[in-house]
């Protein structure tokens, strides 16, 4: 198989209050609005190579409208569509904003993915131009502003099946997984299309809703930027949901917070690069610190919420089995620091 996908190019999300979300991305996260087309707002980080990386669309609930990957060539776009349809999934071709002829499909567990080759490269002019020829625009003056979009983490009822389909059909590399200490249940996996430890994550979804998203993430250059982002958010009255800390899997520093729609956003930095074509994914246990490597605090219960919300307002009412819920909420209680 030729290499089909190159990297995550944008996420489109829905928000019940588009203007509140957009104001948050501009004033608190440090993104810039580049286009308003109809009711949709297109935003970018200062270091994104293409015109936009986040689209905010109106919707009754917070959700992932689609996650988009750029293919590795025009031919790869055609090959990817063929591979998807060979699996019995029928997508559709459409003309996308700034991405030309694109292919959109809904995967086996209800997640919309958009594939495209064409892009609009971004080159700022005037005061926004950078003296670095490789930078699409100058570094943001907003403290802690992310350089780029980094990854998206969806929620799926069968994590292993999700991994199997996306690795086989689209050539994602399977990088690591988490299986509960108490039972052989896969609760998390990471996939990648490039040297990053992941650009697509999968968490176990205990709800009955298809196609949910747990969070999406931006990249900052270094841990100090992440701490400054945390500082800015706190000064502005935005609570941090979890972190700053460090994931065992991927070894990234992380920080989670919510945008006004309640959708979860992450800031990431650090971690390893991995180019190994025949990498064998390790199976982590939560007790090894797969999520919080320091193992000095329990993950808040709110982190199990994905979007759109399940029928009930809490994880308990989402029907997550107790053994999974307990392990997700406090994976270290029964295992000490081991
Ligand atoms: Fe993440």
198 CA distance to ligand 1 middle (Å): 9
Calculate how far, in angstroms, residue 153's C-alpha sits from the geometric centre of ligand 1: 6
Separation of CA 230 and ligand 1 centre (Å): 16
Determine the distance separating the centroid of ligand 1 and the alpha carbon of 141, expressed in angstroms: 25
From the CA of 264, how far away is ligand 1's center (Å)?
10
Q: How far is the CA of 133 from the centre of ligand 1 (A)?
A: 30
Tell me the CA–centroid distance for residue 233 and ligand 1, in Å.
18
pLDDT of residue 312: 43
Strands (E), the chain: 5-15, 32-37, 40-44, 54-58, 63-71, 92-96, 100-106, 112-116, 148-156, 173-179, 186-192, 200-204, 212-219, 240-246, 252-258, 264-270, 282-284
Q: How far is CA 283 from the centre of its chain?
A: 21
Residue 297's pLDDT is 85
pLDDT for position 156? 97
CB atoms within 10 A of CB 1: 11
Rounded CA-CA distance 109/158 in Å is 8
Chain segment 200-226, per-residue pLDDT in tens: 999 999 998 999 999 999 999 999 999
Distance (angstroms) between ligand 1 centre and the Cα of 199 equals 9
Tokens of 243: 């972190």
- Host H or E run for residue 325: helix 322-329
CA of 304 to the centre of ligand 1 (A): 13
Q: Which helix (H) or strand (E) holds 230?
A: helix 223-235
Output the pLDDT for position 318.
47
How close is the Cα of 151 to the center of ligand 1, in Å? 7
CA of 131 to the centre of ligand 1 (A): 31
Q: Give the total residue count for the chain.
A: 338
Distances in Å between the alpha carbon of 255 and those of 15, 154, 184, 220, 247? 21, 17, 28, 11, 10
Neighbours of 43 (CB within 10 A): 22
Q: How many angstroms separate the alpha carbon of residue 202 from the centre of ligand 1?
A: 9
Cα(154) to centroid(ligand 1), Å: 9
* Predicted local distance difference test score (pLDDT) of residue 177: 97
Ligand 1 centroid – CA 146 distance (Å):
14
Distance 100 CA to ligand 1 centre (A): 29
Residues of the chain with pLDDT under 50: 312-318, 331-338
**Rounded to an integer, what distance in angstroms lies between the CA atom of residue 235 and that of residue 250?**
29
Instruction: Find the 107 Cα to ligand 1 centroid distance in Å.
Output: 20
């Amino acid at each position: 198989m030729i290499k089909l996908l190159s990297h995550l190019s944008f996420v489109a999300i829905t928000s019940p209050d588009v203007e509140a979300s957009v104001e948050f991305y501009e004033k608190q996260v440090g993104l810039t609005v580049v286009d308003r087309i109809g009711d949709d707002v297109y935003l970018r980080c200062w270091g994104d190579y293409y015109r936009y990386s986040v689209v905010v669309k109106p919707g009754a609930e917070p959700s992932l409208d689609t996650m988009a990957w750029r293919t590795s060539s025009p031919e790869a776009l055609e090959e990817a569509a063929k591979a998807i349809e060979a699996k019995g999934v029928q997508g559709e071709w459409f003309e996308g904003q700034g991405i030309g002829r694109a292919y959109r499909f809904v995967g086996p567990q209800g997640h919309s993915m958009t594939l495209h080759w064409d892009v609009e490269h971004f080159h700022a002019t005037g005061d926004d131009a950078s003296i670095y020829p490789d930078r699409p625009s100058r570094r943001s003056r907003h403290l802690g502003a992310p350089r780029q979009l980094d990854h998206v983490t969806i929620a799926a009822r069968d994590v292993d099946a999700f991994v199997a389909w996306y690795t086989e059909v689209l050539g994602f590399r399977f990088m690591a997984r988490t299986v509960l200490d108490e039972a052989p249940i896969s609760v998390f996996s990471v996939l990648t299309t490039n040297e990053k430890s992941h650009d697509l994550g999968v968490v176990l979804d205990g709800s009955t809703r298809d196609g949910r998203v747990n969070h999406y993430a931006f990249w900052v250059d270094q841990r100090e930027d992440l701490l400054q982002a945390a500082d800015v958010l706190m000064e502005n009255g935005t609570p941090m949901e979890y972190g700053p800390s460090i994931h065992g899997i991927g070894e990234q520093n992380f920080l989670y917070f919510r945008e006004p729609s309640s959708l979860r956003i992450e800031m990431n930095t650090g971690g390893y690069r991995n180019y190994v074509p025949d990498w064998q994914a390790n199976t982590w246990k939560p007790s090894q610190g797969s999520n919080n490597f320091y193992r000095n605090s329990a993950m808040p219960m709110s982190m199990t919420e994905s979007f759109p919300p399940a029928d009930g307002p809490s994880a308990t009412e989402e029907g997550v089995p107790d053994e999974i819920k307990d392990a997700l909420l406090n994976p270290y209680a029964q295992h000490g620091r081991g």
